[in-house]
Amino acid sequence: MRWLALGLSLCAGPLWANGAEEFVTLKGHGGPIMALATDAQGRVASGSFDNALGLWSGTAPLWLEGHDAAVTAVTFGPAGEVFSGGDDFAVIRWQGGRAEVLGHHKGKIRALDVSDDAAWLASASWDGTLGLWPLKDGEAQSIMLNAGANDVVFGPDNSLYVATVSGELRHYESPTSSPRVLVTQGFGINRLLLSPEGWLAYGAVDGATRVIDATSGAEIADITLDRRPILALAHHADSHQLAVGDGQGYIMMLDSADWRISRDFHALREGPVWALAFSPDGSRIWAGGIHDVVYGWPVALLDQFDPAGTGARSFLADPETMSNGERQFMRKCSICHALTEGGTRKAGPHLAGLFGRPAGTVTGYRYSATLARAEIIWEEETIDALFDLGPDHYIPGSRMPMQRITAPADRRDLIDYLKTATTLTKDN
């Protein structure tokens, strides 16, 4: 989508607009940041593993909750509405904080884009299709790709450029036309970006960052470094800035006027950089990754900052300082569940007061219909069975990730730890 590439200026900007030289952190998510977008007013939309979408005009966001799994794609429309897609296969339009489900894929959604005439929303999915959702008149359409789609952008006259997991970059003149293959390579293409000047940039699993002519496919530049994979791209047309995020926590800043590397910034202490977005004036670059924080750096001062993020995401300490039961919790449960009530946002419900609690009864949490109907009381036997069989077998149809703890002693240690930890935190 190229709304920001038009170079619209801030009006009544967000709180951080007057501090262009400050490093900003947006905190509140309870899981890794999977997607970012900004609009002409400087708002930031963030999608997270915690199933939520955050809409930020300051440090206290509007939380948009309608997905049943991680939010992996987000974009703005020209009227200020927000669109999101997720691992629950759903495509949602948000207006005034209300969710309208436009439709579903049969696989995870990787990218969204709005056409320049604001008539269509395109969605790229790992189910091997592109979805086309009418925003004005018309009926939903689908393009069969025979390969999973990682990214999609609209071109002139609502043509479509698509990046696939098979390593092809395709151009569709219309939903019914045969594709023209512009690039074929041996590794999947993760991200795609079309400029108003008519060039296409793409980033791939093998670390390739290349720019081609969007019409002929002729290569314009190859800025590949020895880092992989490329996971995020962002462009600010007026300042000729192209940002490239990789799996090792770096953001490479390119000058698209002459394709030189202007900065190569170690942004995140722990990779990867999963999402990037520029502020409307190009003075700030926002990034998200494995931590539950959105980071915003002033572009002019990038070289003055140390890598952001502290502590290992796994939360694992040395064996002599952490019991086996706590280690099992940290490895298998902590990214989705908090031990305390009222703690940070997580993809799953809190575990305070777990033992003796009927499944699906934490107030305020959006359970799947399967778990809400489950006649399960959480106690030693049921928790042991959950991890012995795996959630997909013990509660088929629930949203709990597929994982097991196969060793009986490890399950026993986890249960003993939870007995103490959830009881101590129940009244906090």
Residues 151 and 232 in one domain: yes
Please give the backbone phi and psi of residue 37, each rounded to the nearest 5 degrees, phi first. -155, 155
pLDDT at residue 294, rounded to an integer: 97
Residues 68 and 171 in one domain: yes
pLDDT at residue 320, rounded to an integer: 66
Residues 38 and 61 in one domain: yes
Residues 282 and 210 in one domain: yes
Q: d(Cα 390, Cα 104) in Å, to the nearest integer?
A: 26
For the beta carbon of residue 382, count every other beta carbon within 10 angstroms.
Answer: 15
Roughly what angle, to the nearest 10 degrees, separates helices 408-424 and 380-389? 130
Does residue 427 sit in helix, strand or coil?
Answer: coil
User: How would you label 302-322 residue by residue, b for 16+ Cβ within 10 Å and e otherwise?
Assistant: beeeeebbeeeeeeeeeeeee
Tell me whether residue 311 is in a domain.
no
Tell me whether residue 313 is in a domain.
no
pTM for the whole thing? 0.82
Cis, bond preceding 358 (omega within 30 deg of 0): no
The CATH number covering residue 390 comes to 1.10.760.10
For the beta carbon of residue 341, count every other beta carbon within 10 angstroms.
Answer: 17
281: left (phi over 0), alpha (psi -120 to 50) or beta: alpha
Question: How many domains does the chain divide into?
Answer: 2
Tell me whether residue 312 is in a domain.
no
Tell me whether residue 391 is in a domain.
yes
For the beta carbon of residue 178, count every other beta carbon within 10 angstroms.
Answer: 9
pLDDT at residue 391, rounded to an integer: 83
Domain boundary among 279, 304, 329: 304
Do residues 81 and 121 make contact, with C-beta atoms less than 8 angstroms apart? no
Do residues 241 and 284 make contact, with C-beta atoms less than 8 angstroms apart? no
Residues 282 and 411 in one domain: no
Q: d(Cα 212, Cα 241) in Å, to the nearest integer?
A: 16
Residues 330 and 288 in one domain: no
Tell me whether residue 314 is in a domain.
no
Q: d(Cα 45, Cα 54) in Å, to the nearest integer?
A: 6
Provide the domain limits for residue 257. 4-304
Tell me whether residue 297 is in a domain.
yes
Residues 252 and 379 in one domain: no
Tell me whether residue 177 is in a domain.
yes
Do residues 198 and 215 make contact, with C-beta atoms less than 8 angstroms apart? yes
Residues 167 and 291 in one domain: yes
Do residues 338 and 423 make contact, with C-beta atoms less than 8 angstroms apart? no
Residues 290 and 396 in one domain: no
Along the 428 residues of the chain, how does pLDDT read in single tens digits?
444 333 333 344 676 665 567 999 999 998 899 999 999 999 999 999 999 999 999 888 999 999 988 999 999 998 899 999 999 999 999 998 899 999 999 999 999 999 999 999 999 999 999 999 999 989 999 999 999 999 999 999 999 999 999 999 999 999 999 999 999 998 999 999 999 999 999 999 999 999 999 999 999 999 999 999 999 999 999 999 999 999 999 999 999 999 999 999 999 998 899 999 999 999 999 999 999 999 999 999 998 999 998 655 444 555 667 899 898 888 888 878 888 887 677 878 889 999 999 998 988 888 878 888 888 999 999 988 899 888 877 888 777 777 788 889 989 989 899 989 888 543 44
Q: Among candidates 95, 97, 90, which has minimal Cα distance to 73?
A: 90
The CATH number covering residue 30 comes to 2.130.10.10
Please give the backbone phi and psi of residue 311, each rounded to the nearest 5 degrees, phi first. 80, 150
Tell me whether residue 364 is in a domain.
yes
Domain boundary among 249, 277, 304: 304
